[in-house]
């Protein structure tokens, strides 16, 4: 099983994907894989999400598929049952992290402040999602907290683009960044898998 630290090493950019149509799941996953991506976070924001994770886990096992936007304790078991290999939460509450930890899957708890990061570290979580990255202080914020919290590593997500990703990836406490720009809604609606592959390929040398 992949550790949280290893999850951050799979690809410089972890695609954060919103799937409205389960039929898009496998073509999107295959396009990301062709573009050189090894990991995908499917957000539990749509009715198609869990079935999409299931299809990707079965049909594209080379891609490590996880469940994102896990905001309620009951999502944790649903994510496991669908075949998720990791879990990402946008924020952290005790009840949510208890449920997610109980799955035994690697997970990235979401934090946006120093205090939240320290609370997560107290629970034994040293690999975290920093969300919403741009709105919460961006790369400058993460750079500032490396001094007092050098043992923590982050996957910043939220408002990051192909242009701003490199600033984050240059930081010693950032392993990868998350972003939805590899799978824009209009590109998925048009079934333009070639475009998804191109957007993915443009990220593989960012680190
Ligand atoms: C997330 O859930 O991590 C964010 O919605 C992704 O942020 P982005 O759409 O700004 O990339």
Q: Which domains does the chain have, with CATH numbers?
A: 10-199 (3.20.20.70)
ipTM of predicted complex? 0.89
Structure-token pair, residue 184: 């824009």
CB 130 within 8 A of CB 157: yes
Q: Which residues, in sequence order, are CB contacts of 61 under 8 Å at separation 6+?
A: none
Best mutation site among 14, 15, 16, 203 for ligand 1, i.e. most ligand atoms within 8 A of its Cβ? Answer: 16
- Among the atoms of ligand 1, which is closest to the Cα of residue 180? 11
Q: Whose CA is nearest to atom 6 of ligand 1?
A: 158
The band of 1, judged by pLDDT with boundaries at 50, 70 and 90, is: confident
Q: How far is the CA of 17 from the centre of ligand 1 (A)?
A: 9
- Ligand 1 close to Cβ of residue 35 (< 6 A): no
Structure-token pair, residue 185: 């809604």
**Looking at the DSSP assignment, which residues form a beta bridge with residue 43?**
68
Q: How far is the CA of 130 from the centre of ligand 1 (A)?
A: 11
pLDDT in tens, 80-134: 999 999 999 999 999 999 999 999 999 999 999 999 999 999 999 999 999 999 9
Structure-token pair, residue 190: 């048009």
Distance (Å, rounded) from C-alpha 16 to C-alpha 67?
10
Instruction: Please give the pLDDT value at position 207.
Output: 85
Distance (Å, rounded) from C-alpha 118 to C-alpha 94?
13
CB 129 within 8 A of CB 157: yes
What dihedral angle (degrees, nearest 10) is formed by the CA atoms of 78, 101, 93, 41? -50
Is 122 labeled as catalytic in the residue annotation?
no
Strands (E), 44-200: 64-68, 87-88, 107-108, 110-111, 127-130, 153-156, 177-179
Q: Annotated catalytic residue: which of 30, 62, 116, 129?
A: 129
- pTM value? 0.97
Structure-token pair, residue 187: 């590109």
Q: Annotated catalytic residue: which of 30, 41, 54, 197?
A: 41
For residue 75, pLDDT over 90 is answered with yes
Distance (Å, rounded) from C-alpha 180 to C-alpha 88?
14
Q: Whose CA is nearest to atom 7 of ligand 1?
A: 158
Sheet-wide strand order for 87-88 = 107-108, 87-88, 64-68, 39-43, 13-17, 177-179
Q: Whose CA is nearest to atom 11 of ligand 1?
A: 179
Please state, rounded to an integer, the average pLDDT across all residues of the chain.
97
pLDDT in tens, 48-58: 999 999 999 99
pLDDT in tens, 156-193: 999 999 999 999 999 999 999 999 999 999 999 999 99
Is 129 labeled as catalytic in the residue annotation?
yes
């Amino acid at each position: 099983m992949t550790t949280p630290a290893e999850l951050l090493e799979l690809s410089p950019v972890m695609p954060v994907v919103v799937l409205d149509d389960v039929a898009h799941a496998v073509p999107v996953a295959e396009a990301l894989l062709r573009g050189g991506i090894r990991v995908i976070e499917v957000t539990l924001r749509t009715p198609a999400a869990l079935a999409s994770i299931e299809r990707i886990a079965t049909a594209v096992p080379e891609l490590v598929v996880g469940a994102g936007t896990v905001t309620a304790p009951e999502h944790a078991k649903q994510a496991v049952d669908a075949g998720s290999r990791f879990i990402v939460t946008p924020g952290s509450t005790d009840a949510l992290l208890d449920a997610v930890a109980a799955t035994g899957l690697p997970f990235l708890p979401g934090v946006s402040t120093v205090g939240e990061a320290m609370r997560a570290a107290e629970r034994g979580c040293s690999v975290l999602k920093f969300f919403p990255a741009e709105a919460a202080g961006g790369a400058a914020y993460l750079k500032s907290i490396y001094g007092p919290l050098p043992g923590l590593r982050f996957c910043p997500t939220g408002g990051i683009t192909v242009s701003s990703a490199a600033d984050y990836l240059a930081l010693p406490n950032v392993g990868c960044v998350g972003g939805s720009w590899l799978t824009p809604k209009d590109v998925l609606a048009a079934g333009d898998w070639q475009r998804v592959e191109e957007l993915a390929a443009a990220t593989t040398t960012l680190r």
